[in-house]
Structure 1
Amino acid sequence: MTDDLGHQLRFERVPQRIVCLVPSLTEYLFWLGLAEQIVGITDYCIVPAEQVAAVPKVRGTKNPNREQILALAPDLIIANKEENRERDIVALAAAGLTIYVSEIDSVQQAMASLQTIASMLGRSEQARPLIEAIQAELALAPIRQQRVATAIWRDPWMWVGKATYAADVLACCGASNCLADPAGRYPRLELAEIAALQPDRILLPDEPYTFSQADAEQLQGLAPQINCCDGQLLTWYGPRIPLALQTYRRLLSGIDD
């Protein structure tokens, strides 16, 4: 197998002990029916709640406990280029562990990674309905196009740049990112700078920063529409992709205004 960074992985058998360092992919592994093979996850792997509660935690995505991971003796670690630090991946690989690193900046890349992971773990047939559902959603044309700015953090204010998975989810649903191209993955822009871009809509997801209606009220006047929205649907790739595309297509169409 080859991961998204071009690293070749060789297996003598289907991996049976998996450590996953990516919350959304942990959800996907459980969805594939691999609960018994998952031996380690991060503190941020929170769904499915009942099942992850019983799995050993190896700290966070940015500071995994390498010694604990080694002690778990995984035959596969699943990581992500953005979620996890390169130095941790390099150190774990140097210790002789096999690591699949995903790089997901679009819905198409997410779909390809989900297919590869399923194939690697002997679950291609289980993944097929999800892949087909994603393809069906992508085949639907957006109802309406509009210019959108999506916040990702505040203090300082940070925004979703164009070269990100979240931006591509929105683009598939009819959003044109109003930030400059290129503007970096998550550029810092003050509210006055966002107002100057004249977005049709500002989105305030509840993850990773928990934006609320109070934040929306503070931004009144910066755009005709300001919406609080589901951050996991926007940023988590896996079994929730079809619902994400349905939800944001509906929101951007103006149906929920």
Structure 2
Amino acid sequence: MELPFVQPPLTVTDQLNRRVAVPFPPQRIVSLVPSQTELLFDLGLGSRMVGVTKFCIHPPEARQQATVIGGTKNFDFEKIEALQPDLIIGNKEENYQAGIEQLAQKYPVWLSDISNLDEALDMIRRVGLITGRKSAADAMADEIASSFATQLVPAALTPAAYFIWRKPYMVAASSTFIDTMLPRAGFRNVFANLSRYPEITAEQLAAAAPAVILLSSEPYPFAEKHVAEFQTICPSATVRIVDGELFSWHGSRLRHSAEYFASLRA
């Protein structure tokens, strides 16, 4: 009797230069990152998604058809065990190291590490390769790259502060994906001298004197009711609510970011 052909695992390197052997193509995928969950669905992999986080809000059906396995920084290991995934996709910044290490002892765990647009495009291409959707992923990455290449960024950038949290105030500073997106939207980060996501005071904000204050819609849900609070600190600044997903989600949502950034400059 002829035995069925079993395709050998695909051994790849993730964005942390970890070697990962992935059954190819993977059939039971768990995503630990909202932006990458959306990417996997947009690559046509929805039927293979068995686990997502409670923050995976796009597409809406993600949390309905797949098991919710906790948050991005507190995994439910028993639920993941029951799913028997053959690929788990995570991210260095959004997930927590101890949890990732525990999962990697049992399952193939592929991690992204993204701090700029080029690395985001590289992630999309690599995820397409390991999931058997290389052509679709390459086309998507090319589309995103082209959308940014055709956008004209003004030579003089507007000084801006980008807030991600309230009580305490926290901003996106240097060494973040958001910081690299701000110039593409026409802004210069007034807190570029600080690192990552620092807490700042009202006094520091006033001293930085941004011309524009950008209040992100996520992770803190800034809304119009918060505008006056910041206007009091910087009376001469323009305070705007902006779509945080289009500044910080590094997956397929980037297809809409360049056009959105152009609308902010209009």
Would the TM-score normalized by the shorter structure come out above 0.5? yes
Distance 1:12 1:23, change over 3 A: closer
Give 1:248's aligned residue: 261
Work out whether residues 118 and 127 of structure 1, in 8 Å CA contact, stay in contact via their aligned partners in 2.
yes
The residue correspondences of 1:15-164 to structure 2 (distance < 5 A) are: 15-94=26-105, 96-139=106-149, 140-143=151-154, 145-164=157-176
1:193-212 to 2 correspondence within 5 Å? Answer: 193-212=204-223
Q: Is the Cα–Cα contact under 8 Å of residues 169 and 245 in structure 1 kept in the other structure?
A: no
Shift of 1:137: 2.5
- Give the C-alpha shift of residue 174 in structure 1: 2.1
Deviations 1:132-164 (A, max 9, x none): 222113323313511110001011100011211
CA distance in 2, matches of 1:206, 1:78: 25
Q: Greater CA deviation, 3-12 or 38-47? A: 3-12
Aligned residue for 1:138, secondary structure, equals helix
Q: Is the 8 A contact 1:17 1:74 kept in 2?
A: yes
1:224 and 2:234 equivalent? no
Question: Which structure has the bigger radius of gyration?
Answer: 2
Structure 2: how far apart are the matches of 1:201 and 1:168? 17
Compute the displacement of 1:79 (Å): 0.5
Amino acid in structure 2 at the alignment position of 1:37: R
The question of whether the paired residues in 2 share the 8 Å contact of 1:18 and 1:39 is answered with: yes
Shift of 1:12: 4.5
Task: Measure how far apart 1:180 and its partner are.
Answer: 4.2
Q: Which runs of 5+ in 1 are unaligned?
A: none
- Judge conservation of contact 1:45–1:52 (CA < 8 Å) in 2: yes
SS for the counterpart of 2:30 is: strand
Q: Is the 8 A contact 2:51 2:80 kept in 1?
A: yes
Q: Which runs of 5+ in 2 are unaligned?
A: 1-11
Amino acid at match of 2:190: C
C-alpha distance in 1 between matches for 2:61 and 2:21: 33
Give percent identity, aligned residues only.
Answer: 35
Aligned-pair distance for 1:51?
A: 4.1
The 3-state SS of whatever aligns with 1:97 is coil
Count of paired positions: 251
Output the amino acid matched with 1:220: Q
Higher mean displacement: 103-112 or 137-146: 137-146
Which TM-score applies when normalising by structure 1? 0.93
> In 2, Cα distance between the equivalents of 1:176 and 1:134?
22
Q: CA deviation at 1:165?
A: 1.1
Question: What is the CA RMSD across the aligned residues, in angstroms?
Answer: 1.4
Deviation of 1:218 (Å): 1.5
- Distance in 2 between residues matched to 1:93 and 1:4, nearest whole Å: 15
Shift of 1:63: 0.5
Contact 1:21 1:41 in 2 (8 A): yes
Q: Which residue of 2 aligns with 1:190?
A: 201
1:77 shift after superposition = 0.3
Which amino acid letter does the alignment assign opposite residue 127 of structure 1?
A
